[in-house]
């Protein structure tokens, strides 16, 4: 098995980007507190969820590039993982703590997770329709 990026479709590249953005967003500023920025990693214990989801997406896409064939379940996996990471971001945006204001990193995590949901649903639609 060798790594061949020609096996990856457009959705796979979108998932790779979403996974990388999700991993990176964990270490960006999620909150501002009295003028100081707090990264997602330092702000909450739930941040390991988007990090693990991002790593899992990268592993799935690497396996696809190596020729592993998933029996239509990769769309469920990608959409489900994106939904879980998005749920963490949504909860952290709407759970208000005194003095904390949501910052750009948490919105980036939310956008990346929603992109993963979209990619997963698109892969499902493609696998069941064609």
pLDDT tens profile 16-59: 999 999 999 999 998 888 888 988 888 778 889 999 999 999 99
Phi-psi region of 35 (alpha: psi -120 to 50; beta: other; left: phi over 0): left
The per-residue pLDDT for range 55-88, each reduced to its tens digit, is 999 999 999 899 888 776 788 999 999 999 999 9
At residue 51, the pLDDT reads: 93
Give the domain ranges of the chain: 14-129
pTM of the predicted model, to two decimals? 0.89
CB-count burial class (<10 Å; 0-12, 13-18, 19+) for 111: middle
Paired with 38 in beta bridges are: 31
Q: What pLDDT score was predicted for residue 13?
A: 94
30 and 96 Cβ atoms separated by less than 8 Å: no
């Amino acid at each position: 098995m060798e790594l061949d990026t020609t096996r990856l479709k457009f959705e796979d590249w979108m998932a790779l980007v979403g996974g990388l953005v999700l991993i990176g967003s964990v270490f960006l500023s999620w909150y501002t507190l009295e003028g100081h920025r707090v990264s997602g990693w330092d702000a909450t214990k739930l941040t390991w969820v988007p990090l693990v989801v991002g790593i899992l997406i990268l592993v799935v896409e690497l396996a696809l590039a190596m020729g592993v064939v998933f029996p239509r379940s990769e769309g469920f996996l990608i959409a489900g993982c994106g939904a879980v990471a998005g749920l963490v971001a949504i909860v952290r945006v709407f759970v208000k703590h005194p003095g904390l204001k949501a910052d750009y990193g948490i919105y980036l995590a939310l956008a990346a997770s929603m992109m993963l949901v979209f990619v997963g649903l698109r892969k499902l639609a493609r696998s069941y329709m064609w």
